[in-house]
Amino acid sequence: MTELEIEQENKAIAKEYKELLRISYQTLSEEDKKLIRKAFDVAVDAHKDQRRKSGEAYIFHPIAVAKIVASEIGLGATSIAAALMHDVVEDTEITVEDIEKMFNPKVAQLVEGLTKIAQVQKDMNVSMQAENFRKMLLTLNDDVRVILIKLADRLHNMQTMESMVDYKQTKIASETLYIYAPLAHRLGLYNIKSQLEDLGLKYTEPQVYNDIVSKIKETKEEQDEYIKTISDVLKESLNAEGIDYVIKGRPKSIYSIRRKMKAQNVSYDEVYDKFALRIVYNCNPHDEKFIAWKIYSIVTDHYRPSPSRLRDWISSPKSTGYEALHITVMGPKGRWVEVQVRSERMDEIAEKGYAAHYKYKQGATSLDFAFSIHSAVGVHTRGTRVNGKLVPLNHELKSGDQVEIITSPNQKPTSHW
């Protein structure tokens, strides 16, 4: 590389780093910024002689992973630092012990967990990897942030696979659809799950993927006009009720359209709900359910609903924590349209999944955590270990705690819970 090219690359690296800080700036203390800067410096030095298949400096990858961790998952400084150094132990001379000395045990534990997963990937076939991941989730001995950072790592790798040979693209994409997308779904990361599925389809069924992308582009103008027609009708009534809201129209994911085409044995044009309208409202937490049903009433006053397709995940949230009302109505031109109704809180949990739950639940206890995994886990909880120590069920959790739930089939809920 010429001196000019090196200078330009260094400027590009600095720009990406500044963007990472900008994304997470509001939530960072001065100590957090120092931690992230130190991790960045260690990663830059460790990867200084490495390049990706595309030819770009390797450091662009960990910065991109850290940006996903901060913006799309909403994790804090410890996770951002670990994301910046997630390949350092695997690819360089630096050890986990070195990281613990330079930083702290929490950062070192996350990097060690990520290194273990990298070894699992190398040493096992896809079905064995899946089983290993399931075990990691079920035991909960490993900090779940390891899995979240790994999902960010996989997403960026999927976004930048163009330079790989075909058979490797297919292998990684298949692995993504089989392991990582379901994992993102289980943790409530719907946005990341959709991106992983779409990118997986891009490399496993490129012709199908490109055909659907072309059709979406061809119909975008007409679809935008259709969404505007419905939105304008609803806005008038929502404004009259004094509701604070935004309406978003969005196409369904390419993968979900493909799944419907296969399941129903129909063409793209015959898939009837290729996009959804989302109404996200802001209100007092105590009024969330009331406002959701008020919006339902407004929507169904204007458009005829399909009662069999009503999904009330506010009264009974999904096991992933997802909450929303999904209404399917007959829109203009005799077309079925899905309308999703969520509060801002529900919307953030839907986008950021697991990481967003505790933002809205200060003082969450070990028992809350057990129920957040699944109600069946909660009701059979006999005890909990936090950071390796047995604690009462009402023990308040702090961000970053490692929680192990001890269950018994004979345990039943008691009144003092």
Catalytic residue among 16, 19, 56, 90: 90
Helix (H) or strand (E) holding 82: helix 77-84
Q: What is the pairing mode between strands 311-312 and 336-343?
A: unpaired
Do 151 and 189 contact (CB within 8 A), yes or no?
yes
- Residue 162 backbone dihedrals phi, psi, to 5 degrees: -55, -35
Give the pLDDT of residue 233.
96
Domains and CATH numbers, the chain: 3-204 (1.10.3210.10), 219-352 (3.30.460.10), 361-407 (3.10.20.30)
Instruction: Give the distance, in angstroms, between the CA of residue 390 and the centroid of all CA atoms in the same chain.
Output: 31
Mean pLDDT of all residues in 27-33: 87
Do 145 and 69 contact (CB within 8 A), yes or no?
no
Give the pLDDT of residue 417.
47
What percent of the chain clears pLDDT 90, i.e. is strictly above it?
Answer: 58
Q: Measuring CA to CA, which residue among 160, 148, 138, 189 is closest to residue 60?
A: 160
The backbone region for 353, taken as left when phi is positive above 0, alpha when psi lies in -120 to 50, beta otherwise, is left
pLDDT for residue 414 is more than 70 = no
Catalytic residue among 16, 91, 211, 312: 91
- Collapsing DSSP to helix, strand or coil, 408 comes out as coil
Do 227 and 337 contact (CB within 8 A), yes or no?
no
Do 140 and 404 contact (CB within 8 A), yes or no?
yes
Q: Measuring CA to CA, which residue among 5, 2, 88, 89 is closest to residue 48?
A: 88
Chain position carrying tokens 């960045």: 40
The band of 85, judged by pLDDT with boundaries at 50, 70 and 90, is: very high
The answer to whether 288 is a known catalytic residue is no
Give the pLDDT of residue 315.
92
Give the predicted TM-score (pTM) of the model: 0.81
Most confident of 75-89, 104-118, 348-362: 75-89
Whole-angstrom Cα distance, residue 172 to residue 176?
6
Helix (H) or strand (E) holding 311: strand 311-312
Condensed to tens digits (0 to 9), the pLDDT of residues 284-309 reads: 989 999 999 999 999 999 999 999 99
Helix (H) or strand (E) holding 407: strand 403-407
Whole-angstrom Cα distance, residue 276 to residue 278?
6
Do 122 and 175 contact (CB within 8 A), yes or no?
no
Q: Measuring CA to CA, which residue among 324, 327, 322, 351 is closest to residue 339?
A: 327
- Collapsing DSSP to helix, strand or coil, 110 comes out as helix
Do 273 and 337 contact (CB within 8 A), yes or no?
yes
Mean pLDDT of all residues in 186-193: 89
Give the pLDDT of residue 314.
94
Q: Where are the alpha helices (DSSP H) in 124-272?
A: 126-139, 144-159, 166-175, 181-186, 190-204, 206-240, 254-264
> Which of 13-17, 173-177, 385-389 has the least mean pLDDT?
385-389
The answer to whether 91 is a known catalytic residue is yes
pLDDT for residue 47 is more than 80 = yes
